[in-house]
Amino acid sequence: MRTVVVLMDTLRRDHLSCYNPDTACIAPNIARFAEESCRFDGHFVGSMPCMPARRDFFCGRTNFLERSWGPIEIEDVTLPKVLFERGGVRSHMITDHAHYFRIGGENYCQQFNTYEFFRGQESDPWVSLIDDPWQPERYFGDVKRQYQCNRTRITCEGEFSSVKCFEAARRWVDENEGAEDFFLMVETFDPHEPFNVPQDYLDLYGDDYDGPFFELPKYHRRDEETDAAMAHLHHRYEALITMNDRHFGEFIDRLKAAGMYDDTLIILTTDHGYCFGEREFIGKNYMPAYNEIANIPLIVHFPGGAHAGESRSQLTQNIDLMPTILDYQDVEIPETVMGRSLRAVVEKNEPIHDYALYGTFGCAVNVTDGRYTYFRGGRDQSKCFEYTTSLTTIRDWLGKGRGDQIEAGRFLPRVPYPVYRVPSGPEALVKDGGTYANEDHLFDLETDPGQTVEVEDEAVLSRMEALLVRGMREAQAPEDQFLRLGLDV
C-alpha cells in the first residue's frame, strides 16, 4: 500500500471552495482533488501550534496537556518508525519547515528512513550577510533581519522553498515509479507567514495596495493596521495558497502519470488556521481557539477512488491520521495511540469520537461535541507544569536559569522513564496563558457558527464541563491541569 500525506501549514478551510463555495481564494487543483476524494467537515486540531501539532500527528495522541513546544520524546512511538519496524514500509519526508532543525524540534525528521530539507523559510539561519539587507522604512507588523537575508536568494518562483518541496516530490515519484509500499510526507511551510509571494500571484487578486510594507503581522489585537493593509495582508495569504495549489496540482498530475494515484491513500490537511482580523485578532496562539484556527481541512483520497465526492460530518482530529494510515497499510496500531482509524467513518458513516479535545499548552482547554464548543480558561497558572524527558523548547532551553525549580521523577504513569517537571516559565510560547487565551467561552455552532454569542445555559455548561473532564482523563492529563483549570474532580 502507498500513502502520501501533504501538509500545508496554516491552511484555512474556508479558503477552499470545497468547504466554502463563496471563497475568493483561487485553488482549482485542491478543488479537483476534493472531487476525487472524501471531505471531512468535523475535523479539528489537537495540540497547537506547529511542533505540538506535528507530535500529535506523528504519535497519534495529544501533546498539549503535558508540555509546550518540544521534540519527539524518548517514549514516543511514531508513525514512520512503526511503519518500518512492524510493516517494512519505508518512509521519506520532504519539508521546508525550519523548526524541525532548531532547538525544540529534535528527532522528528529522524523518524523517517530518509528526508530532504529546503532552506529559507521565516528566520531559518541560512543566508549570512554581515551588512544589513534591505529593510523597509515604513511597515506594519514586523520585519525580521534573517528573513530579509534569506529572501535575497528568493528572487523568482522556482527559488521559493515550498515550490522546491513539490519539485522534489515530483522527482521522488519519478525515481520510485512503480513502488508499492511507502509513506511519503510532503510538507510546505506556506501559506504560513511571512506572506512573501511572487507578484504574479498577488496580481490575480487585484491588489493595488500602496501603504506601509506588510508581510509579517505581529500576533496581537488589531490597532494601527488600516482596512487597506488588512485586505492586502489577506490577499498575500490567498496568493500563497494559489501558488501552493499550482504546484500541488502538478504533483498530483505526476502521481497520475506514474500510475501511482488511483490505489494510493493521499491525505491533505494542515496543523491549524489563522485569524485575519476576525473579532479584531491577528495571528494565532494568544486568543481563544476559535474555529478559524481549530476547525481545519481534511481531504482524503482513498484507494480505488472510494467515496470520491462524498463528505463526512463526524468529529475527527489529526491524532486519527496515524491509526488510519496504519490501518490501511495493514500494520498493527500501537496501544499508545489515542486516535482512531477513519475507516468506520468513511465506510460505515459511523462516529469514532463523541468529542474533540484541543488547545495550546498553558491556555484554555477546549472541547466540542460537534454542536457546542466550550473553552475552559486557567484559574491558577501557578499549577501549570511541563513534563518532559528533554529540556528543549522553541529556540531555547526549557527551564533555563530555573534549575532549582525543576524536579525529576516518575510523574507520568504512562511513561516508563523519569521525567522532568518544569514550572511553566518565560520561555513558554504563550506567556502565562495569554490575556485572551485563558478566557471561558461557550458557543452553539449550530445557531452561531461564527462563535460570537455566548450560550447562557447552565445545563449545557455542566454537560460540556463534564465532557471536558472526561476528555482530559482519557488523554491521561496530569493532575496539575485539573487544578490549573479549577476543575473539582
pLDDT in tens, 49-100: 999 999 999 999 999 999 999 999 999 999 999 999 999 999 999 999 999 9
Q: Tell me if 256 sits within 8 A of 280, measured CB to CB.
A: no
Segment 121-130 mean pLDDT: 98
Strands, DSSP E only, in 318-412? Answer: 356-360, 365-368, 372-376, 385-388, 392-393, 396-397, 407-409
Q: Is 328 helix (H, G, I), strand (E, B) or coil?
A: helix
Q: Give per-residue pLDDT as tens, 236-290.
A: 999 999 999 999 999 999 999 999 999 999 999 999 999 999 999 999 999 999 9
Q: What single DSSP character describes residue 327?
A: H
Q: State the residue for C-alpha cell 523548526.
A: 99
Whether 432 shows a pLDDT value over 70: the answer reads: no
Q: Tell me if 303 sits within 8 A of 264, measured CB to CB.
A: yes
CA-nearest of 237, 164, 167, 251 to 204 is 237
C-alpha–C-alpha distance, residues 238 and 244, integer Å: 10
Weakest mean pLDDT among 126-130, 283-287, 312-316, 353-357 = 283-287
Maximum pairwise Cα distance, the chain = 63
C-alpha–C-alpha distance, residues 38 and 298, integer Å: 8
Q: Where are the alpha helices (DSSP H) in 176-210?
A: 199-203
Q: Tell me if 174 sits within 8 A of 256, measured CB to CB.
A: no
Q: Give per-residue pLDDT as tens, 351-375.
A: 999 999 999 999 999 999 999 999 9
Strand 220-221, strand 281-283: pairing: antiparallel
Segment 124-145 mean pLDDT: 97
- The CATH superfamily assigned to 2-356 is Alkaline Phosphatase, subunit A (3.40.720.10)
Q: What single DSSP character describes residue 213?
A: B
- Residue 212's pLDDT band, with cuts at 50, 70 and 90, is very high
Show Cβ contacts of residue 132 under 8 Å, excluding neighbours closer than 6 positions: 145
- Residue 408's pLDDT band, with cuts at 50, 70 and 90, is very high
CA-nearest of 79, 63, 61 to 71 is 63
Output the pTM of the full model. 0.97
Residues forming CATH 3.40.720.10 domain(s) in the chain: 2-356
pLDDT at 30: 98
pLDDT at 433: 58
- Residue 428's pLDDT band, with cuts at 50, 70 and 90, is confident
Angstrom distances, CA of residue 8 to CA of 206, 232, 262, 319: 24, 21, 22, 17
Q: Tell me if 351 sits within 8 A of 335, measured CB to CB.
A: no
- Residue 454's pLDDT band, with cuts at 50, 70 and 90, is very high
Q: Where are the alpha helices (DSSP H) in 3-160?
A: 28-35, 50-59, 79-87, 145-150
Whether 488 shows a pLDDT value over 90: the answer reads: no
Whether 434 shows a pLDDT value over 80: the answer reads: no
User: Mean pLDDT over all residues of the chain?
Assistant: 96
C-alpha–C-alpha distance, residues 251 and 4, integer Å: 11
Q: State the residue for C-alpha cell 490575556.
A: 435
Strands, DSSP E only, in 362-488? Answer: 365-368, 372-376, 385-388, 392-393, 396-397, 407-409, 419-423, 441-444
